């Protein structure tokens, strides 16, 4: 009995810290990556709570597809819109992420 409470305890602490980190990090890309890993941790939590259907759905939709949509929009938001000069158009997301 105490072992399963230990597992659940770690899972819950993991989920809560991931949520806090996800909203507190400086860079958006890291926030999105943290959110996707939060989605996978929650999928494990659904399995622990006896809901395998939801685990599959959460992993596939909540973590996978939402993560893909967020990254697609993030990449688009970080590239300047094409209407100003063309040379900034190819300043893709990678450069401006490392330096704050």
Partner 1 sequence: MSQDLLYIIASIGLFGIGLYGLIVAPHIIRKILAINIMSIGVFMLLVASASTVNGTPDPVLHAMVLTGIVVAIAGTALALFLAGKIHTLGQASDKDGH
Partner 2 sequence: MFHTPNLKEHDHANELSVITRILCAIAIGTLSLSLIIMLIVTDNPSSVLPALVQQQLTQSGVQNPVTAVLLNFRSYDTLLEIGVLLIVAVAMLPNSNFISNINSDMPGNNPSSGRLVSVVTNAQVNPTLEAVLRWLVPMIVVMAGYMLWTGAALPGGAFQSGALLAGAGVLVQLSGRLQFCFTSTIAKLLATIGLIAFMVVAVGVAPTTGVILQYPTELAGPLILLIEIAATLSIATILLLLYNSLATQIPEMSPKPLASNKQPSASNKQPPAQE
* Cβ 23 to partner 2 shortest distance, Å: 12
Which residue in the set 30, 49, 89, 92 belongs to the binding site for partner 1 (CB under 8 A)?
Answer: 49
Tokens 């999928």 belong to residue = 43
Cβ–Cβ under 8 Å, residues 59 and 43? yes
Per-residue tokens: 85: 């000069």
Distance CA 97, CA 86 (A): 20
Question: Which residues of this chain interact with partner 1, rule CB under 8 A?
Answer: 4-5, 8-9, 12, 15-16, 19-20, 22-23, 28, 31-32, 35, 38-39, 42, 45-46, 48-51, 53-54, 57-58, 61-62, 65-66, 69-70, 72-74, 76-77, 81-84
């Amino acid at each position: 009995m105490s072992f399963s409470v230990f597992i659940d305890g770690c899972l819950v602490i993991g989920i809560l810290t991931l949520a806090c980190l996800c909203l507190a990090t400086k860079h958006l890309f890291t926030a999105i990556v943290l959110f996707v890993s939060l989605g996978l941790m929650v999928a494990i939590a659904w399995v622990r709570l006896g809901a395998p259907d939801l685990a599959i759905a959460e992993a596939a939709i909540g973590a996978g597809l939402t993560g893909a949509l967020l990254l697609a929009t993030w990449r688009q938001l970080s590239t300047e819109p094409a209407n100003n000069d063309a040379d900034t158009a190819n300043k893709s997301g990678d450069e401006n992420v490392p330096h704050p």
